[in-house]
Chains A and B, each alone.
Chain A
Amino acid sequence: MKTEIAKIISNRPITGGIYDMWIKTTIAKEARCGQFIGVYPKDGSRLLQRPISICRISDDKESLRIVYRVAGKGTDEISSFKADEDITILGPCGNGFDPDVLKIGQTALLLGGGIGLPPMLQLGYELKNKCLDFKYVLGYRDSDTFMLDEYEECAGAGNVIIATDDGSKGVKGTVIDAINANGLKADVIYACGPMPMLRAVKQTSEQMGATAFISLEERMACGVGACLGCVCKTTKKDDHSKVNNARVCVEGPVFRAEDVQI
């Protein structure tokens, strides 16, 4: 992990309020899927890094891609950064998804909801490169199914199932509704999305007898494990805190669903 003044390769909107940025950085060499980087705003009134998941690591391991939603002033400022501009980032942070949990002959479901979708792309490519069997189940708000073509390219169109809140595309409802409607089963589930979705994933995985790995969000200050701002409640006393608190920025953001109280 390091802080680096990196170079923006491109930064463009892909749909309303969602931006896609490629950054040339040596952090890409150490990065794994499911990890995140901290992006520092330049405005001196905003001093904390914004945690953003790694969406793609380039094949030559020289650049990283992030896809982010403008959620407030910091991400709004970041969306105004231009190609060739410097950007200060911290990373790679956190533990990431472990693609090696999945074995040949087993099946995985990769669930993404809303702005939780982007980190599932790199994971898909890593499973694909190992010739492992997986399907995407993606939850969108409406027919604005951003990046859908990219998931289809990764997994093959037949292996991408979508759900929309308004029913305008795919199954009406949540990713869980889409799993049920299609009678999907899995040995391993990887998920990133809003908290209600992750709670449902935890429940569904228990019923299915699948091991679920979920990526959590929490407010962060340091991003390196020092401030203890970003904790989540764990079921067991964890080794670092000696209380039932794990740090999302170090022990997470990815947890086994059974290990956390959400």
Chain B
Amino acid sequence: MNTSVQIAGVEFKNPVMTASGTFGSGMEYVGLMDITRLGALITKGVALTPWEGNPTPRVAETSSGMLNAIGLQNPGIDVFCERDLKFLEGKDTKVIVNVCGKTEEEYVGVVERLADEKRVDMLEINVSCPNVKEGAIAFGQNSKALFSITEKVVKAAKQPVIMKLSPNVTDITEMAKASEAAGADAISLINTITGMKIDVERKRFVLANKTGGLSGPAIKPVAVRMVYQCAQAVNIPIIGMGGIATAEDALEFILAGATAVAVGMMNFHDPAASVKVIDGIEAYMKRHGIDDINSLRGVVS
């Protein structure tokens, strides 16, 4: 039975990853699960310099999901390389580094800094960051800005580039096409959906930032729909995510056209959620007499 998949020449032992920002760099989960079971680990977004993030409260629970407004707190690329990448040294799983920035130059700076880091197998570019030069509209909400940043990052990068798409757009396929046209090796989706929660007793916003990104099982149908639409629109591989809790959820994404999947918020509900998804996919393949996971991709169309 083959569970391995390939994206841009990188081979993953199985299609299951942990989503950026929900798994730290794996260090935090030592003893709680075996990270070497993962197809890949996608690290928390990292920028050129340390970012403080937003004031608290930064998280709020919602029905079968949660809102977060962490604000991309991160220690900066230097500490990340010395500490987090060092921790991942010798661990038998692929490493995808999630990159953020407020200008194109910052993204390119991080990507260049990572060029010679052997531990980095791929880059995932988080374009949900506010573009400070273009009035703080996220890079991922305008197809021209997305094309431009993709082109620059791809040019600077030594590792294959995944563009991580925001669902907060009218037509996600436009963003997928812009990424593909600009030379991205793959796309991942969805990032969180912008939401809001109000405390009616205190008559105020629950999050200090007022709005936050919704994730968890509540967003899964939206995510599956968007992955399906993108699979129809582009030829580059897709990493699907958004509310995956079980192997069946992961298989929905694969059947809709994803090459790989990522488990996000559900890591908070159960640190072993990703491992259970891996085991469940194998059980499903046995049950259905499927020899190769790749034969399931996009069969529902």
Interface residues of A (CB under 8 A from B): 1-3, 40, 44-49, 74, 90, 218-232, 240-245, 250
Contacts and interface: CB of A to CB of B under 8 A. Distances in A.
Interface in B69-127: 70, 73, 75-76, 79
Give the interface SS of chain B, mostly helix, strand, loop or mixed.
loop
B162 interface: no
Interface string B42-60: 0010000011110011111
Interface in B245-301: 265-272
Contacts of A244: 52
Interface of B: 21-24, 28-29, 31-32, 44, 50-53, 56-61, 63-66, 68, 70, 73, 75-76, 79, 216-217, 265-272
Contacts of B61: 46-48, 74
Contact of A245 (B28, B73, B216): B73
A231 B66 contact: no
A231 B265 contact: no
Nearest to B271: A3
Contact of A221 (B24, B32, B51, B68): B68
Contact of A227 (B64, B70, B76): B70
Given A226-B24, A228-B70, 7 more contacts: A46-B61, A49-B269, A224-B28, A226-B44, A229-B59, A231-B58, A243-B51
Contact of B31 (A1, A46, A221): A1
A57 B22 CA distance: 31
Contacts of B53: 228, 231, 243, 245
A243 B74 CA distance: 8
Contacts of B70: 227-229
B32 A47 contact: no
A44 B64 contact: yes
B294 to A, nearest CB: 31
B286 to A, nearest CB: 26
Nearest to A88: B270
B65 A47 contact: yes
Nearest to A249: B28
Contact of B59 (A90, A220, A250): A220
Nearest to A220: B59
Most B-side CB within 10 Å, residue of A45, A218, A226, A229: A226
A46 B61 CA distance: 7
A40 B265 CA distance: 14
Contacts of A74: 61
B56 A242 contact: no
Given A47-B269, A226-B22, A2 B63 contact: no
A24 B266 CA distance: 26
A221 to B, nearest CB: 5
Contacts of A223: 268
27 contacts: A1-B31, A2-B31, A40-B269, A44-B64, A47-B65, A47-B217, A47-B265, A47-B266, A74-B61, A90-B271, A219-B57, A219-B60, A220-B59, A221-B66, A221-B265, A222-B267, A225-B28, A226-B44, A227-B70, A229-B68, A229-B70, A230-B59, A231-B53, A231-B56, A240-B75, A243-B75, A250-B28
A242 B73 CA distance: 10
Q: Which 7 A-B pairs have the closest CB atoms?
A: A229-B59, A226-B24, A242-B75, A226-B28, A242-B50, A47-B269, A225-B28
Contacts of A225: 24, 28
A2 B32 contact: yes
Nearest to B56: A218
The residue among A3, A229, A231 with the most chain B CB atoms within 10 A of its own CB is A229
A222 B268 contact: yes
A197 to B, nearest CB: 19
B268 A221 contact: yes
B64 A242 contact: no
Contacts of B28: 222, 224-226, 250
B30 to A, nearest CB: 9
A223 B270 CA distance: 11
A3 B272 contact: yes
A226 B52 contact: no
A45 B64 contact: yes
Contacts of B22: 222, 226-227
